[in-house]
Structure 1
Amino acid sequence: MDRLTQLQDTLDDLLTQMYASLNYIQQKHPYGDFPDQPSQAEPPAPAPSTTKALTNGDAATAKAEPNGNVKVKEEKKEEDKKADKADGAPTHIPDQPDIFESTMREMARSLILQEQKAEILINSMPGIGHNEENQMARMSALMEELKQVEGERAKAEVDRQKMVDTLGEVIVSVQRVR
């Protein structure tokens, strides 16, 4: 794979990582605490009660397991599902602050490494650090070298064809001798 394609793939990966990082930050950031302001965080949800879930027949179904326990499966009503996705965005469920911070550090480290890969590829590109005249002279020299190598290849092709013809004649003469 050539360097330009590697650079393009690296930049595509970098942009994908950036998008994923921004998406994670948007969806998982913990709520900030501001002095003298009410908290934006949702209160912790109460533990589901099996008796309440069993009495509400249209919102839950109960299934008895072989070990005797009752497993409750919550089912959302159709209007609840529509309300959750009214604007098309998923609801915000924040991560714990320590988990969020460690994930942010990991994503930042990954972004820095990807950026460094791109920088290394850019610096290894031919022509970096050379002016236009030097690059044109180098291209002319390479074109002359290419013409010379192409001439050698054509000569080798002629020699190969001569050898194939000679070999064919030897094979035919060996068959006649028998």
Structure 2
Amino acid sequence: MADILTQLQTCLDQLATQFYATLGYLSTYHDNSPAIPPNVPNAAPALSKMTKNTTSPPIPASVAGASGPAASPPPPPPQQPGAGAGLQDPDQPPEPDSARTFASRQRELARDLIIKEQQIEYLISVLPGIGTSEAEQEAKIRELEVQLRDVEGKREAKALELRKLRGKLENVLGAVAVGIHGDEKGRR
């Protein structure tokens, strides 16, 4: 049972880690598009009514891409002195994944979470005592206690027998040692 409980705890720890990693990926690589479509009235408070934490709110990639060629491109992020052209500023978030890549990775992360949840369900289903009543579990415990006492009695009997055999062996080895060493001492 302890082995199943250890496996269950490991799976729960892994599931928590997967949740954390999934949330980290989703919050880091999304395209900042609104979760609620903008053409649904009263679905979400208007941006003008929301308090602003920064002076320039992020522009969703879907809105920036849909604005067409007439719109001016967003200004490039400021480059640090000595930074190469291909390097990204470490203070800036990474570029969002493409919609296809993001959706593919979402499905993969969701599948991994479902598989881990199914492993946990299986481990719970094979725990001893699942599906049995409290009275049945108590009867099984009493039966196991009787078996444990019987085995403990046998173990104590074997330990006593082992002590007797060790004593006999020590006597034989002592007699052999006296016989071998006794002759040599007598010759000197």
Q: State TM-score, norm by structure 1.
A: 0.70
Task: Report Cα offsets for 1:75-124 as digits up to 9, x if no partner.
Answer: 97xxxx9xx5xxxxx63631111111111111111111111111111001
Q: Which residue of 2 aligns with 1:103?
A: 105
- Structure number with higher strand proportion: 1
Q: Which residue of 1 aligns with 2:23?
A: 22
What's the Cα RMSD here? 3.2
Paired with 2:88 and 2:123, the residues of 1 have a C-alpha distance of 52
The correspondence for 1:40, drawn from 34, 46, 60, is 60
Paired with 2:87 and 2:115, the residues of 1 have a C-alpha distance of 44
Distance change (3 Å), C-alpha of 1:128 and 1:107: same
* Larger RCO (alpha carbons 8 Å, 6+ apart): 2
Paired with 1:18 and 1:26, the residues of 2 have a C-alpha distance of 12
Larger Rg: 2
The correspondence for 2:133, drawn from 113, 131, 136, is 131
Equivalent AA in structure 2 for residue 153 of structure 1: R
Equivalent AA in structure 2 for residue 122 of structure 1: I
Distance change (3 Å), C-alpha of 1:141 and 1:123: same
Q: How does 1:132-147 map to 2 (within 5 A)?
A: 132-147=134-149
SS in 2 for 1:60: coil
Distance change (3 Å), C-alpha of 1:60 and 1:13: same
Q: Structure 2 unaligned segments of length 5 or more: list them.
A: 40-58, 65-72, 181-188
Distance change (3 Å), C-alpha of 1:4 and 1:35: closer
Distance change (3 Å), C-alpha of 1:74 and 1:174: closer
Equivalent AA in structure 1 for residue 23 of structure 2: L
Distance change (3 Å), C-alpha of 1:73 and 1:27: closer
The correspondence for 2:162, drawn from 141, 160, 163, is 160
8 Å CA contact retained: 1:10, 1:117: yes
8 Å CA contact retained: 1:60, 1:72: no
